[in-house]
């Protein structure tokens, strides 16, 4: 690992992150990805300087240079998150960079695409409380192709073994049932659709671990959130009906499992100690 490279990957990530912001903003809005970005309030076309990730937000103190309207924190946050994501992926595959640079590039590109897609889905879910089919199905398709191409960190065309082959269908099954029984109240069908990709990408053991982790993290955050609301917002009736989108937790659980090679065996061993 190399500090200079980490900084380069971070900066590269912030540039991709600012593109992801555009994708999130324009998805299903009828606007294409072409055309210059502009301020929503005054319509001022942004100059190259105002498009610099994070930096422009800081120097302009979060305001449009034309009209002074506040710019959403979403922009610098997504840029920074993508930056850290790229650093994490670089660290994950750094051992390959000098030995087999082409394999590094393929793995970084493939998983970079997948986690950027998961990030876009997460933010979309947070903003609109929905995981669009177009995104979950794109993830499932890319993960399905990867299942035949990647064996661990190796690039080999192969038939995946036994349970891993059907993990993409097994993992979402119980949650689709929950959706059906609760008529969509306990769980969105979008979450189950997201699990198709998780299953294909991680296999049965690691995929189960990712879903478990996301439930635990989701539960922890929800409890903290409810406590926080009860303490500070002085709301009398804070219920779990204050729907918390589950997509971001699934994405985060998937990232953790992928980066730290967690699977169901390592989780059971952790609790057996």
Number of H helices, E strands in the chain: 10, 2
Does 51 help bind Zn ion (rule: CB under 5 A)? no
Q: Which is nearer to Zn ion, 68 or 228 (CB)?
A: 68
Q: Which is nearer to Zn ion, 51 or 173 (CB)?
A: 51
Does 71 help bind Zn ion (rule: CB under 5 A)? no
CB of 131 to Zn ion, least distance (A): 31
Name the H helices within 129-246. 133-149, 162-170, 172-181, 189-228
Short-list 194, 79, 71, CA closest to 139: 194
CB of 42 to Zn ion, least distance (A): 3
Rounded Cα distance between 144 and 186, Å, is 27
Directed axis angle between helix 247-260 and helix 101-128, to 10°?
Answer: 160
Q: Which is nearer to Zn ion, 42 or 58 (CB)?
A: 42
Per-residue x/- track, 7-46, Zn ion (CB under 5 A) = --------------------------------x-xx-x--
Does 66 help bind Zn ion (rule: CB under 5 A)? yes
The residue within the footprint of Zn ion, chosen from 64, 81, 107, 117 (CB under 5 A), is: 64
Q: Which is nearer to Zn ion, 47 or 235 (CB)?
A: 47
Size of the site for Zn ion (CB under 5 A): 8
Q: Taking contact as CB under 5 A, which single stretch among the options 69-77, 104-112, 205-213, 249-257 is the one that binds Zn ion? A: 69-77
Check if the beta carbon of residue 195 is closer than 8 Å to that of residue 172: yes
- The continuous run of DSSP H or E covering 74 comes out as helix 74-97
CB of 66 to Zn ion, least distance (A): 4
Does 227 help bind Zn ion (rule: CB under 5 A)? no
Please give the sequence-ordered ranges of beta strands (E in DSSP) within the chain, or none if there are none: 150-151, 154-155
Check if the beta carbon of residue 120 is closer than 8 Å to that of residue 135: yes
Q: Taking contact as CB under 5 A, which single stretch among the options 59-67, 131-139, 216-224, 252-260 is the one that binds Zn ion? A: 59-67
Owner of token pair 């979950």 = 136
Check if the beta carbon of residue 137 is closer than 8 Å to that of residue 124: no
Check if the beta carbon of residue 14 is closer than 8 Å to that of residue 83: yes
Q: Which is nearer to Zn ion, 69 or 268 (CB)?
A: 69
CB of 63 to Zn ion, least distance (A): 8
Q: Taking contact as CB under 5 A, which single stretch among the options 25-33, 48-56, 62-70, 120-128 is the one that binds Zn ion? A: 62-70
Check if the beta carbon of residue 114 is closer than 8 Å to that of residue 88: no
Name the residues that contact Zn ion, by CB under 5 A. 39, 41-42, 44, 64, 66-67, 69
């Amino acid at each position: 690992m190399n500090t200079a490279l980490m900084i380069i990957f971070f900066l590269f990530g912030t540039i991709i992150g600012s593109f992801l912001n555009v994708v999130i903003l324009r998805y299903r809005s009828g606007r294409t990805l072409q055309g210059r970005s502009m301020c929503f309030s005054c319509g001022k076309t942004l100059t190259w300087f105002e498009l610099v990730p994070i930096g422009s937000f800081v120097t302009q103190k979060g305001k449009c240079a034309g009209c002074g309207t506040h710019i959403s924190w979403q922009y610098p946050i997504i840029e920074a998150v993508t930056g850290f994501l790229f650093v994490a992926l670089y660290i994950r595959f750094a051992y390959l960079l000098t030995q087999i640079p082409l394999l590094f590039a393929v793995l970084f590109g493939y998983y970079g695409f997948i986690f950027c897609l998961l990030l876009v889905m997460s933010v979309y879910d947070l903003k609109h409380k929905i995981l669009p089919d177009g995104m979950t199905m794109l993830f499932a398709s890319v993960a399905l192709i990867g299942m035949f191409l990647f064996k661990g960190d190796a690039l080999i065309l192969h038939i995946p073994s036994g349970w891993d082959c059907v993990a993409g269908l097994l993992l979402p099954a119980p949650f689709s049932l929950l959706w059906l029984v609760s008529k969509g109240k306990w769980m969105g069908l979008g979450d189950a659709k997201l699990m198709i990709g998780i299953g294909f990408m991680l296999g049965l053991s690691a995929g189960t671990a990712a879903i478990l982790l996301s439930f635990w993290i989701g539960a922890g955050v929800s409890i903290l959130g409810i406590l926080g609301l009860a303490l500070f917002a002085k709301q009398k009736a804070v219920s779990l009906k204050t729907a918390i989108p589950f997509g971001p937790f699934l994405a985060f659980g998937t990232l953790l499992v992928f980066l730290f090679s967690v699977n169901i065996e390592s989780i059971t061993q952790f609790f057996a100690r």
